[in-house]
Structure 1
């Protein structure tokens, strides 16, 4: 059930004084980390005692700025590739440390992000009455996370007090027993307040982790088909990830070394919007696609694959952006060719995109998170883990 309705129009509920623990794998530069940053800082500003628990190493530094009042607990067991035996031992280690950390924070409720972390959090709170809200931030039907974790997800999610997804499509993936506890809360757009317009150099921009999900291989193929017709334009792909080497090899194979830059992660959040003249999303699937919304809010003309889920909710085709069939390289090339050829089209799409993005401003979306927190606090039993529990 979608409990968003028109709650955004209501005054924020009074949740001051609540003790809230948020569990997330890491505090890097991704979209999940961005919403964690916004929600944590917001709840802290309302008078809540907010604790963040991550799996990161003790010396890890957050990409986004958190209020100093927010406690960050790093468990020192980050996700990494390992043998099956080693992976099993790491899971048990994470579970023990997470259970101990949650017990120490004595939360009124726990909010967890991302599938594996959601599963660990639900396991760590077995035997307690602490309500746990889990949040899916990707496409649960398509994201690869293994049969073991999928089975745990199926068996444990019914224990959750609630489930948050960013689209109705993601919520509909789950069975009715879970859907009835569901909340659809879109990601807000939150551009840097001090960003400067340094555009005008004909830069087509893409942003995301360098993983197969983001489809940058498809984007390189599409750009190669039109690069000759647009010699003044360059493609810049911001982000980092395991696919860097293969993407660089493909760039060389396509002869695009001088036309495509891959500079890594921006030094500060949102820096890429300063130099972008147009934006493209080439993902095979998405949970939402916050960078697309950021581009629209910044007044950029956008082209996107119509992947599940997110782009279809943000873009009205030919009005405030251009949608093309997902994974269709030829269609993407044609749409980019059309947009790069027509300044008037870019200006029209960009202006309408900025107007459309206004419905996703932070104050509106954060009101939904406040309503969720108030619902948890008023409807649940809030007994912390017993201090006699043993946790490794």
Structure 2
């Protein structure tokens, strides 16, 4: 067979949601479509009427289980399936079993899908999907485990399971070189299967920010992982010295009320905004002059690249692994110790008070962001898939 028109299937937990994995999967899928490949996204569940990110009309979306109300088009379950839905999944362990749905019924749906797929390549995009592929996938297609977390993130039991079962797949793709090194050291006899391919994000369609507005901006799910509480505390320390500056935190999530309470505690209601989720964010980035990414952990840091692509200087937590591979502190941005509001406040103060520094980091960030554009990254995927197909 020729490789010009590969049939590529991405196996995703829930393509209808939001998050970095979903966004980069859609970016990669669209770049592959542009090259003439046939791309399907299998979403294990559908839970909402509208997607968190718009779908390219060329994409084929297959939903294994529509968990919406049947009155809205969701799947109706038979009595037997209702019973199976209550039985624990094959993946019933922490850090694996964090699915929208997880049960014996769900296992069977994924097993049937992997058995019946007529495709050249299947790419799992989550540890649960990758373990399903290892158990239920077959040899008629290439099986690629794409890891959007890092190995040390997982519990001991899950990590042991990964290291035991991933080697049966054709390739293990990490998003950072640091994580690839950890995998190679953990499974040296399968080190040649481990490949690093970073996440991708398109360049902004708009001109870079003019850095004219006194706004610090960030974006992401409103959860503890993203560290927005740390950012609010840091901003509170510098707010008095820079009364014209505001902070905008875009996103939705379970910590919204907690963050609102923190804003009220510091009496920053007129200075800190929670506008909710906005897509695309390009226009909002252009209205800001500093991007702050205070994550407690960040496997990659897609939002860092997104901010850089919009021409913003970035200050981020020096958490493993992504930020450390994207930002060279004092060259194309600033890195600060994680979970340290005062250190973050000091970095914000430096940027707020130094326009030349902001512009220097912004210019270097634009150069950095180009390395992660889909047109640059998609070739790595294509090269890997072609190499693996040659061995089939």
The SS at the match of 1:344 is helix
Gaps of 5+ in 2: 69-84, 90-101
CA contact 2:209–2:311 (8 Å) conserved in 1: no
Give the structure 2 partner of residue 17 of structure 1. 5
The SS at the match of 1:261 is strand
Out of 322, 330, 333, the position equivalent to 2:342 is: 330
Using the TM superposition, name which of 89-98 and 227-236 deviates more.
Answer: 89-98
- The count of aligned residue pairs is 359
Q: In the alignment, does 2:387 pair up with 1:375?
A: yes
Give the deviation of 1:33 after TM superposition. 1.4
TM-score, scaled relative to structure 1: 0.84
CA contact 2:88–2:104 (8 Å) conserved in 1: yes
TM-score, scaled relative to structure 2: 0.84
Instruction: Give the direction of change, closer, same or farther, for the CA distance of 1:213–1:178 in structure 2 (3 Å limit).
Output: farther
How far apart are the structure 1 equivalents of 2:23 and 2:373? Answer: 14
How far apart are the structure 2 equivalents of 1:199 and 1:97? Answer: 50
CA contact 2:47–2:67 (8 Å) conserved in 1: no
Out of 59, 62, 68, the position equivalent to 1:70 is: 59
Deviations 1:97-143 (A, max 9, x none): 12222334311221010222222333331x55533101111233125
The SS at the match of 1:106 is coil
Deviations 1:78-97 (A, max 9, x none): 69xxxxx9471533222211
Give the structure 2 partner of residue 154 of structure 1. 163
Give the structure 2 partner of residue 170 of structure 1. 179
CA contact 2:127–2:147 (8 Å) conserved in 1: yes
Give the structure 2 partner of residue 133 of structure 1. 144
Using the TM superposition, name which of 97-106 and 310-319 deviates more.
Answer: 97-106
| Structure possessing the higher relative contact order (Cα contacts under 8 Å, 6 or more residues apart) | 1
The within-5 A match list for 1:110-125 is 110-125=122-137
Give the structure 1 partner of residue 18 of structure 2. 29
The SS at the match of 1:286 is coil
Instruction: Give the direction of change, closer, same or farther, for the CA distance of 1:350–1:190 in structure 2 (3 Å limit).
Output: same
Instruction: Give the direction of change, closer, same or farther, for the CA distance of 1:115–1:69 in structure 2 (3 Å limit).
Output: same
Gaps of 5+ in 1: 1-13, 80-84, 381-392
CA contact 2:206–2:283 (8 Å) conserved in 1: no
Give the structure 1 partner of residue 99 of structure 2. none
CA contact 1:53–1:73 (8 Å) conserved in 2: yes
Out of 45, 55, 71, the position equivalent to 2:44 is: 55
Give the deviation of 1:231 after TM superposition. 0.9
